[in-house]
């Protein structure tokens, strides 16, 4: 399509590549900064910012986070809720969407109306809070599970669009062989919808893993903390102590050092703990990300519209 390249075009190409590289650096650098920050001595970190490498390398903050007995429990709450909600809600929503896609389903119109109302109207935070309370789900592990078991009507619409691609003759012959609707769903529909299910599963899992609203609104005991909520608390307390410290540091650096030395010979501070927890809790997402990414293109249009 493009013949000889003019000088202007070559300059454009080069600067475009440079812009993209700068953008990637700007995207990646914050992560890198938190990694090196978490691996640096805490007291040393306050003396001046790091750029590329830790100045005073130490695993102390990582060890402190991993040795925290509460962390294992918190991780367990987060992982179990993510796995249960993702698996059940994807399977069940796919099944619902299958039943909903059958032309001979009775009451389809009513279900459609119910679905659309649920998409566009919501009672908001306070009525939901009262409902959760009334149902006895407040401060209860099940608040993470039960309200999320159905993946929502939007996913049903996406799945239905995908089911249309499955040839009708498959359904017909299965029906004539006397297959039940459940058999058709599990043996035909499910295996043929793997890509879209994978995309929806990724979005669901990311959403659940990253959610801290449920914890903030509907729980109070530390037993039910999720990783995100725990990190939020760390960020807030370390933020507060940083502010206190910066006030103190303005008057004298000795006070700042004193504050730091009080916590484990200056290797660990609230800030390095926070950074270590942030890095450790993003590891699952970052490890899964390349595997999940190939499904994005499948789910792209739907996923981004949803957002």
Partner 1 sequence: MKKTPESIRVPWERKRKGHYLGSDWRTQLELQVMIWPAIVLIIIFSFFPLFGLLMAFKNYNPMSGIKGIFTSEWSGFDNFTVVFHSFQFWPMLKNTIGINLFGSLVGLPVTLLFALLLNEITSSRFKSFIQTITYLPHFLSWVIYGGLFITLLDPQGGIVNALLVKLHLIDEPILFLGDPKYFWGVAIGTGLLKDLGWGAILYLAAIAGVDQSLYEAAAIDGAGRFRRMINVTIPSIKPTVMIMIIFSISGMLNNNFTQIYVFQNTLNMSASQVIDTYLYQTGLLQFQFATATAIGLLKSVLALLLLFGGNYASKKLTQSGLF
Is 12 a binding residue for partner 1 by CB under 8 A? The answer is yes
Residues 118-157 that bind partner 1 (CB under 8 A): 118, 121-131, 134-135, 146-147, 149-150, 153
Residues 79-108 that bind partner 1 (CB under 8 A): 92-93, 95-96, 98-100, 102-107
Shortest reach from residue 76's CB to partner 1, in Å: 18
Shortest reach from residue 20's CB to partner 1, in Å: 5
Residues 240-299 that bind partner 1 (CB under 8 A): 240, 242-243, 245-246, 249, 271, 274-275, 278, 281-282, 285-286, 289-290, 293, 296
Shortest reach from residue 114's CB to partner 1, in Å: 6
Question: Which residue, 207 or 264, has its beta carbon nearer to partner 1?
Answer: 207
Structural tokens at position 94: 């796919």
Query: Per-residue b/e over 35-73, b at no fewer than 16 CB within 10 Å?
Result: bbbbbbbbbbbbeeebeeebeeebebbbebbeeeeebee
Is 239 a binding residue for partner 1 by CB under 8 A? The answer is yes
Structural tokens at position 285: 């997402």
Distance set, CA 10 to CA 1, 3, 71 (Å): 16, 12, 53
Contact indicator for 271, 42 with CB cutoff of 8 Å: yes
Shortest reach from residue 165's CB to partner 1, in Å: 17
The pattern of x and - marking residues 189 through 218 that bind partner 1 according to CB under 8 A reads: -----------------x--xxxxx--xx-
Question: Which residue, 131 or 262, has its beta carbon nearer to partner 1?
Answer: 131
What's the distance, Cα to Cα, between the start and end of the chain in Å?
A: 36
Question: Which residue, 58 or 210, has its beta carbon nearer to partner 1?
Answer: 210
């Amino acid at each position: 399509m493009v013949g000889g390249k003019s000088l202007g075009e070559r300059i454009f190409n080069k600067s475009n590549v440079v812009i993209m590289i700068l953008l990637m650096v700007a995207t990646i650098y914050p992560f890198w900064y938190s990694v090196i920050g978490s691996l640096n001595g805490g007291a040393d970190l306050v003396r001046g910012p790091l750029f590329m490498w830790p100045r005073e390398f130490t695993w102390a903050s990582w060890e402190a986070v991993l040795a925290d007995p509460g962390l294992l429990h918190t991780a367990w709450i987060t992982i179990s809720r993510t796995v249960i909600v993702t698996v059940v809600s994807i399977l069940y929503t796919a099944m619902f969407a299958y039943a909903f896609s059958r032309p001979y389903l009775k009451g389809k119109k009513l279900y459609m109306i119910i679905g659309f109302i649920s998409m566009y109207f919501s009672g908001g935070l306070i009525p939901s809070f009262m409902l959760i309370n009334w149902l006895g789900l407040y401060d209860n592990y099940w608040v993470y599970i039960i309200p999320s078991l159905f993946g929502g009507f939007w996913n049903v619409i996406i799945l239905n669009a995908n089911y249309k691609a499955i040839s009708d003759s498959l359904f017909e012959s299965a029906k004539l062989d006397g297959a039940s609707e459940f058999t058709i769903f599990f043996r035909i529909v499910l295996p043929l919808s793997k890509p879209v299910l994978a995309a929806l599963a990724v979005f669901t899992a990311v959403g659940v893993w990253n959610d801290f609203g449920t914890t903030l609104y509907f729980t109070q005991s530390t037993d039910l903390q999720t990783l995100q909520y725990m990190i939020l608390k760390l960020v807030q307390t370390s933020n507060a102590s940083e502010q206190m410290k910066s006030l103190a540091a303005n008057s004298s650096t000795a006070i700042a050092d004193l504050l730091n030395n009080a916590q484990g010979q200056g290797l660990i501070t609230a800030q390095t703990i926070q950074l270590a927890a942030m890095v450790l809790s993003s590891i699952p997402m970052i490890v899964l990300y390349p595997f999940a990414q190939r499904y994005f293109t499948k789910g792209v249009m739907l996923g981004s519209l949803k957002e």
